[in-house]
Amino acid sequence: MSWRKVLLPAAVTVAVLAGFLVYRAAGHEECTACRRPVSERTATFATIGGHKVLFCCPACLNSHSRQTGNDVNVVSLTDYASGAMISPASAYIVHGSDVNYCARGPVRVDEHKHALDSHYDRCAPSAIAFASAAAATRFVQGHGGHIMAFSNYALKTGSRARTVR
Ligand SMILES: [Zn+2]
Domain layout of the chain by residue ranges: 1-29, 31-163
Query: Separation of 38 CA from ligand 1 center, angstroms?
Result: 7
CA angle 130, 99, 159 (to 5 degrees): 65
What pTM value is reported for the model? 0.75
Residue-wise DSSP of 4-46: HHHHHHHHHHHHHHHHHHHHHHTT--B-TTT-PBPPTTT-EEE
Q: Please give the Cα distance from 75 to 47 (Å, whole number).
A: 7
Backbone angles phi, psi at 13, to 5 degrees: -60, -45
Query: Separation of 146 CA from ligand 1 center, angstroms?
Result: 21
Query: Separation of 110 CA from ligand 1 center, angstroms?
Result: 26
pLDDT by residue for the chain (165 residues), tens digit each?
Answer: 677 787 777 776 676 556 555 555 555 689 999 999 999 999 999 999 999 999 999 999 999 998 998 888 999 999 999 999 999 999 999 999 999 988 765 566 778 888 766 677 889 999 999 999 999 999 999 999 999 999 888 777 767 777 765
